[in-house]
Amino acid sequence: MSFLVNTPRKSQRIRLDENICVHIFTASAAMVGVCLTVVGIIRVVISTHKSDMVAEDLLAVNAMLYLASCLLSYWALRTRSLTRNYRLERMADVIFLIALTLTAVNAAYITWAMSLH
């Protein structure tokens, strides 16, 4: 029957949503570590160049956003309510994308700040 539309079954959609949560959880947890590592590197550079940079503060905010995304996706994985799972997943997704954008902004700022000194 060619007039039927191929729509994913509910169980496939739930499985896909759980997959997204797992990816957000692992990626955001890893990015918290990356932000902390870069903060440490920035501290070494600041002490060497004797200059203060806003990048350290931006990276701290970035790490908090990744942590929030990680915790929300973990909560979404643990919840039994499908509507709550969907909301938590969406919030984790949006926060993760904001943090990812801020990571790119941080990288650009650090690059330009370093080249000016």
The verdict on residue 2 lying in a domain is no
pLDDT at 95 over 60: yes
Q: Which residue has the higher pLDDT, 65 or 12?
A: 65
The verdict on residue 92 lying in a domain is yes
40-43 long-range Cβ contacts below 8 angstroms, 24+ apart: 42/110
The verdict on residue 37 lying in a domain is yes
The verdict on residue 117 lying in a domain is no
Q: pTM score, two decimals?
A: 0.68
Q: Give me the domain span that covers residue 87.
A: 14-112
The verdict on residue 3 lying in a domain is no
For residue 48, what pLDDT is reported?
Answer: 64
CA distances from 46 to 51, 56, 77, 117 (A): 5, 10, 40, 11
Binned at pLDDT 50, 70 and 90, residue 1 comes out as very low
What is the length of the chain? 117
Q: Which residue has the higher pLDDT, 53 or 83?
A: 83
The model's pLDDT over 18-77, given as tens digits with 9 standing for 90+, comes to: 677 778 878 888 888 888 788 777 777 666 665 556 778 888 899 999 999 999 988 988
The verdict on residue 90 lying in a domain is yes
The verdict on residue 62 lying in a domain is yes
The verdict on residue 6 lying in a domain is no
